[in-house]
Structure 1
Amino acid sequence: MMTTVFSDSSVTDEQRRELLFRGEVFVYSASPATTALIGFARELIAEAFGDLDPETAQHVMPVEEFAKLLADLKPRFIHHPRCKELLPAVVEERGCDLGETYFDVPRLRTSTSNDYLVSGISYAFHPHRDCWYSAPFSQVNWWIPVFDVVPENVMAFHPRYFDQPVRNGSRTYDYAEWNRTSRQNAASYVRTDTRVQPKPEEPIELEPQVRVVPEAGGTLMFSGAQLHSTVPNTSGRTRFSIDFRTVHISDVRARRGAPNVDASCTGTTLRDFVRCNDLAPMPEDLALEYEAEALAGVS
């Protein structure tokens, strides 16, 4: 299929979600709310790296020391109460209803250059759909670079596979089991990463691909069902970015979203989401329904 990239579009959130669920991609310029978010991230990054330039520190730090630094920095950002104030502001700027939109925690991601650290705490993602990892098909992914990025250190979309199945390992993935056994020890995987994750089980044609390069603080939005991957970073600089996900409660209830062409995982990430306006958790009945449907093989 062909993917269209919409730049600074004025469509409503409802129209945008419908287009995202068809495989389109949206990109927005930096805004006051995203500038505040990356500004906060930069503060924490600067505290962690001290006198070193965080984008080039990998060239002077032992990889084990770099991984240890990230193991402290990333959870500090993820769980900081300031993020729970900043994220709803980002979502509101994009025209979302804060009483109907739920978000999960923002993750601070890194992609180091020239295979310096590509496992564990700085995992370089193979081609995948978030829906292989128990994400709902109504999920919208938000991606925001903290510093300037280039085509050599962003992510790639593989749009021909949006509606084309890929044989993959999602059938062995259960989200609750992953949280119990694999998520917490990511920082221990420095040289290699042996955690079992859903991957393609057939050759993937990586070209043609789509790479979008937003400005620092710009926002890239796409469906969790998009097949995407980490571009092998050859830029000489570590890429820092923020990503989080949203769902609209009406989409969750109506099972409205992108098509399920090949996911067969169990469990659900819905319990990770809280409502933007008051941080209320996702209703438990919905999470239970999704878990039951996954076990029954209902897409």
Structure 2
Amino acid sequence: MTTVFSNSVVDDDTRRGLLYEGKVFVYSSTPASRDLIAFAQELIADAFGDRDPETAQYDMQVEEFAALLADLKPRFIHHPECKKLLPAVLEELGCRLDRTYFDVPRMRTSTSNDYLTSGISYAFHPHRDCWYSAPFNQVNWWIPIYPVVPENVMAFHPAYFDAPVRNGSARYDYAEWNRSSRLSAAQHVRSDTREQPKPEEPIELDPQVRVVPEPGGVMLFSGAQLHSTVPNTSGRTRFSIDFRTVNIDDVRARRGAVNVDAACTGTTLRDFVRCADLDPMPEELALAYEAEALARVS
């Protein structure tokens, strides 16, 4: 069972503990989250021009659409304005900026009716972020940019939160992914041949939980949650923002979700910077997590 907390007033320390147990939190939009999606909407409008971005897929060749996203998404991800807006979202929702570290916010798209499901607009199979070298104290944040419906969001598969799934994470190393696969996303238009951890046994997708926040609404869940992209049958392309956070006290204390089935190596900790001043994650912590990942699989 997955419990969803709506507009909870618990403090962040308590909330993280509940997230590590498989709970999900959802919040109404805040002034800062509305500023963040408004900025995203500006960049999207500039990229698509006179086209409605949610229906532009019907007027564009898939290669043209993919090329547009290949320019738009990095502009959003690396824009200095995001580094100002994102910590404001975290602060409004109770995170301590001197203890919370974040990675770059990603703009995601999910096109309708299998128009573009690979590469730059990858439709994620059921997975845990922890199969991709994420730490078990990672919290995922997800924000829709435009209205979403049950037919174009993501799904959680709660029966598997604490149940192992045979998967390909043993073949995944984050440093190798960065060297060989990350930058080639835009090249995978018709299919995606990059090695990514997937379930390697049949799994039951139902029961599942789908959360439908308002534009600018914020959903939080553990990186250990088994989740997937819902096959989009809504008729509209979904645009959303996601990013990840860790609390450095949890990183140091190894406080987080239980590892039930991840066998990957490497760590994503070097992607995180401190909200207060953008200082990087201490290198000794990344090195320690890399050593522990190697020890788990040796």
Verify same fold: TM over 0.5. yes
Q: Distance in 2 between matches of 1:35 and 1:135?
A: 28
Deviation at 1:209, TM superposition (A): 0.1
Deviation at 1:105, TM superposition (A): 0.2
1:62 matched to 2:61? The reply is: yes
Q: Any gaps of 5 or more consecutive residues in structure 2?
A: none
Q: Distance in 2 between matches of 1:185 and 1:263?
A: 25
Q: Distance in 1 between matches of 2:132 and 2:108?
A: 17
- Partner residue of 2:87? 88
- Partner residue of 1:77? 76
- Partner residue of 1:26? 25
Aligned residue pairs: how many?
A: 298
Q: Any gaps of 5 or more consecutive residues in structure 1?
A: none
- Partner residue of 1:145? 144
- CA RMSD in angstroms comes to 0.8
1:225 matched to 2:228? The reply is: no
- Partner residue of 2:39? 40
1:212 matched to 2:176? The reply is: no
Amino acid at match of 1:10: V
Deviation at 1:247, TM superposition (A): 0.2
- Partner residue of 1:97? 96
1:286 matched to 2:294? The reply is: no
- Partner residue of 1:257? 256
Q: Distance in 2 between matches of 1:11 and 1:166?
A: 32
- Partner residue of 2:276? 277
- Partner residue of 2:113? 114
Amino acid at match of 1:227: L
Deviation at 1:298, TM superposition (A): 7.1
- Partner residue of 1:178? 177
What secondary structure does 2:183 align onto?
coil
CA 1:298–1:181: 2 relative to 1, 3 Å? closer
- Partner residue of 1:3? 2
Q: TM-score of the superposition, structure 1-length normalised?
A: 0.99
What secondary structure does 1:226 align onto?
coil
What secondary structure does 1:186 align onto?
helix
Amino acid at match of 1:99: D
Amino acid at match of 1:157: F
Amino acid at match of 2:250: D
Q: Distance in 2 between matches of 1:13 and 1:207?
A: 30
Q: Give per-residue Cα distances to partners, 1:213-270, cap 9 Å, x unaligned.
A: 0000000000000000000000000000000000000000000000000000000000
- Partner residue of 2:134? 135
1:163 matched to 2:169? The reply is: no
Q: Give per-residue Cα distances to partners, 1:39-98, cap 9 Å, x unaligned.
A: 000000000000000000000100000000000000000000000000000000110100
* 289-298 or 247-256, larger mean C-alpha shift: 289-298
Q: Distance in 2 between matches of 1:131 and 1:153?
A: 23
4+ aligned runs moved over 3 Å, structure 1: none
What secondary structure does 2:277 align onto?
coil
What secondary structure does 1:156 align onto?
strand
Q: Distance in 2 between matches of 1:40 and 1:298?
A: 43
Q: Give per-residue Cα distances to partners, 1:178-236, cap 9 Å, x unaligned.
A: 00000001000000000000000000100000000000000000000000000000000
Q: Distance in 2 between matches of 1:257 and 1:20?
A: 9
What secondary structure does 2:87 align onto?
helix
- Partner residue of 1:51? 50
Q: Distance in 1 between matches of 2:289 and 2:104?
A: 20
Q: TM-score of the superposition, structure 2-length normalised?
A: 0.99
Amino acid at match of 1:235: S
What secondary structure does 1:96 align onto?
coil
